[in-house]
Amino acid sequence: MPELPEVEVSRLGITPYLEQQTVAKVNIHHKQLRWPIPDEVALLEGQVIQRVQRRAKYLLLESAPGTLVLHLGMSGHLKVLPAGTPLVKHDHFELITAAGQSLRLNDTRRFGCVLWQTDDNPLSQLAHLGPEPLSDAFTDDHLFTHSRGRQASVKTFIMDNKVVVGVGNIYANEALFMSGIDPRRAAGRISKARYLKLTQAIRLVLARAIEQGGTTLKDFSRTDGQPGYFAQELAVYGQAGKPCPQCERPLSEARIGQRNTIFCKRCQT
């Protein structure tokens, strides 16, 4: 599943083709995704896409009448192709610009979404999201303050989008390892000093992932639709049973919140 860095790299990839471009046509090739694509998306036709933004894992294409909201789900990806390029299987949604570019959402499992919101009718999916982890709103004491009294594991806590957005499974594993915190520990029983280390680790692993993805992002307009995702340099995720990068003890694996969790019993306490 694309996580926040991959979605941000997608935003960087599509922006040069869409921002300040006029939408000539909107085509719905398969209406039923995670939610039905609303008819209001046709309001984009004839409008200029003013900005391409991201909120959590949602991409926001802003225009005067409203905002087109895209989510890649578990298997979705975006591709930019010359208008008129033949469709391929699972191309469900298409936006064609007056400049002759076609933005397409391809989603095998159809868990992604294409939605519409206006200032008067904002989406409930975006209403209760926590701060962006790379923004000033994610303060040094944010996690500590919101963790008090929480009995859930710290890994579950930092993956809660109401607490902070975009810390998916991969980066939760990595940040907890970097900060030396056992992912099984109760969120409410971790000190302020340790939460400061975790906050810094979350910022670092996400920023590094975006930077690495950006450095490989040469041309989003490719037939496979893949925006040059970085080769991830992961310390623990997917490394169960292999030597810990710090102490060389075999890394342990647990199931937390129905997600695989890899950690070092010696280095993470």
- Please spell the DSSP secondary structure of 97-163, one letter per residue: ETTSEEEEEEESS---EEEEE-SSS--GGGTT----TTSTTS-TTHHHHHHTT--SBHHHHHT-TTT
Q: From the candidates 11, 34, 54, 57, give the one annotated as an active-site residue.
A: 57
Q: From the candidates 3, 8, 94, 174, give the one annotated as an active-site residue.
A: 3
List phi, psi (to 5°) of 174: -70, -45
What is the token pair recorded at 54? Answer: 């991201």
104: annotated active-site residue: no
Residue with tokens 């046509």: 25
Query: Which residues define the annotated binding site for DNA?
Result: 90, 109, 150
Q: From the candidates 2, 133, 183, 227, give the one annotated as an active-site residue.
A: 2
d(CA 183, CA 18): 40
266: annotated active-site residue: no
3: annotated active-site residue: yes
57: annotated active-site residue: yes
What is the token pair recorded at 263? Answer: 């950690």
Q: From the candidates 25, 55, 185, 259, give the one annotated as an active-site residue.
A: 259
Query: Which residues define the annotated binding site?
Result: 90, 109, 150
Please identify every residue annotated as catalytic: 2-3, 57, 259
